[in-house]
Structure 1
């Protein structure tokens, strides 16, 4: 039997809006992507972050849940869910054309969540607008 570790990923999520010729959007972001990949590897994975009260926030939650990521600490705020517009060049290279950090801007775990994070086997910190406080 393989041991199941408890991982937390803290920080960013966004909707990546890829321009033509791709012309689609994907849920992503550093911390969110790590949480999903760890869950897909069979670990107990928790996501700590923030989304808006919009369709993209609901989509983000649904994607996390569909990938068996625990979303008990997903905060829903009044700002929009973060997004990134990605320009796709003819070469296939992708460039960030514009972005809005939305609900992720200013997000930091609450004091009670810090105790939960301390009990994890590993904590991954993605983009987090807290001036390095969580790392310290």
Structure 2
């Protein structure tokens, strides 16, 4: 994914911006902010796969996407179309509107950030 907007088959969209100054970040809605040096580009958008696991922000270890969807009370029919944001290595970074990975957040030693915004 390059900076810009990607339209999803569900009618939603995901916008990617590369920011140089974390002081001037104006964020609204569903978003995730990642230190650019911690993410292996390109960022990819896909749907869930059997056995997917995610490192959640504020939690040690990983959790199955299936359990995250159940805990978040996402209807079964919506789960197969839900966007899963990954890096080049397939590491799950974000489930828009549900959970962010441990990579998300401001890192004081980083000067450049990747901002993803999800619009339903």
> Which category describes the TM-score, using the shorter chain as reference length?
under 0.3
Please say which structure displays the higher CA radius of gyration: 1
TM-score of the two chains, using structure 1 as the length reference:
0.23
Structure with greater helix share of residues: 1
TM-score of the two chains, using structure 2 as the length reference:
0.25
